[in-house]
Amino acid sequence: MIIDAHTHVFDRIFGRIGAGVVSSGKYGFALVGDEQVQIFPPFCQDTKFTGDNLIHSMETAGVSGAVLLQGCFYGDQNAYSKQTAINSDGRIRAAMYVEPWNMNSIDYFEENRSHFCAVKLECSVQTGFCGLRDFNLEEYIPFFRRVEASGMALVLDLGAAGERSFQTKAVERIMEFCPDLKIVICHLGQPRYEYLKSDVLMNEWKRQILLARNGQVWFDTASLNAFFKDDIYPHKTGSLFFNMALDMIGPSRIMFGSDLPGNTLIDTYVQIIGQIKIFSEEAGLNSQEIECIMSGNARTVFFRVQ
């Protein structure tokens, strides 16, 4: 079984990031301010990735379940994500988009939390809250207590080491005040080539990975192919970081994620899945440990009875 813990759907883009307003273009392009950015191949005339697109991608690639995440780039897709999950016969779970400084979002959370398995906060500088405002996770611990009380997970994209969004200390504080809150950090902490040349960045990345040792934090593997796209497939530099994370926290704290439909400019969906299987097998993991990464951990965190 495979569960993809990091996917996206949208029938249109209406986002906002530090570089400006984001909207749908044509043939896989998004408009970011005045700039056209190719975000995935020209699958169809309108730049969208619908619930049906996701379901058919899953069926073609042998994926049994998926988790819908959101962020500033695609815009608030709560209604569309919720409906996609409802239409999926239990195969898909949706995470809620919330701007925690906005009291209307808090009201929305309270009214709609039963429809979602998690709250996702895109904190990164390039495409998240830290590109829009002075954003500090510690300021929202009272909200995270609400998430904890609901039984939902908290999913965080914290950007890359060295950026102001990489708020490892804030996550430690959240863990202190919300000891029963399940936390997923996206992109395996966003490893990069430059970490290999900088002890400061490498140590900052390792400190974040070590958060998972207390049993409250997991990491997804989304975008490992994108971070090391200059390597030919399966992007072997990514395996160095994957193996370091395994050594520090083990397979029970890592879950497969793709970032679909993103990154399909680099590899196909089947290849993105295969990359993590290759890394896992080459690391010497047994079938049970690989199952944890490819589905078991995501099932534990996201596929609770609703």
Structure tokens at 58: 């899953």
- 141-150 and 168-177 helices cross at what angle (nearest 10)? 50
Strands (E), 18-71: 20-24, 29-32, 35-38, 65-68
Say what the pLDDT of residue 141 is.
Answer: 97
In degrees to the nearest 10, what's the CA dihedral of 219, 97, 204, 257? Answer: 30
CATH number for region 3-302: 3.20.20.140
| Structure token digits, residue 129 | 């809250």
pLDDT at residue 304, as a whole number: 73
Q: What average pLDDT does range 49-62 have in this prediction?
A: 98
The mean pLDDT of 99-117, rounded to a whole number, is 94
Percent pLDDT > 70 in the chain is 99
The helix/strand/coil state of 125 is: coil
Strands 3-7 and 217-220: unpaired
For 237-250, write each residue's pLDDT tens digit.
999 999 999 999 99
Tokens of 258: 């793709």
For the cut 90, the answer to whether the pLDDT of residue 306 exceeds it is: no
pLDDT for the residue 242:
98
The pTM assigned to this predicted structure is 0.97
- For tokens 């813990």, what's the residue? 5
Spatial neighbors of 288 by CB under 8 A, at least 6 apart, are: none
pLDDT of residue 178: 98
* pLDDT in the model for residue 122: 98
- Span 135-181, pLDDT tens digits: 999 999 999 999 999 999 999 999 999 999 999 999 999 999 999 99
Cβ–Cβ < 8 Å for 240, 231: no
Q: Per residue in 121-137, is it b (16+ CB within 10 Å) or e — as a string?
A: bbbbbbbbbbbeeebeb
Average pLDDT over residues 204-215: 97
Q: What is the mean pLDDT of residues 79-93?
A: 97
How far is 289 from 81, CA to CA, in rounded Å? Answer: 30
Averaged pLDDT of the chain: 97
pLDDT in the model for residue 44: 87
Residue 107 binned pLDDT confidence (cut-offs 50, 70, 90): very high
Answer yes or no: are the C-beta atoms of 81 and 67 closer than 8 Å.
no
Give the start-to-end residue ranges of the domains of the chain: 3-302
The string of pLDDT tens digits covering residues 210-261 is 999 999 999 999 999 999 999 999 999 999 999 999 999 999 999 999 999 9
Percent of the chain with pLDDT over 90: 97
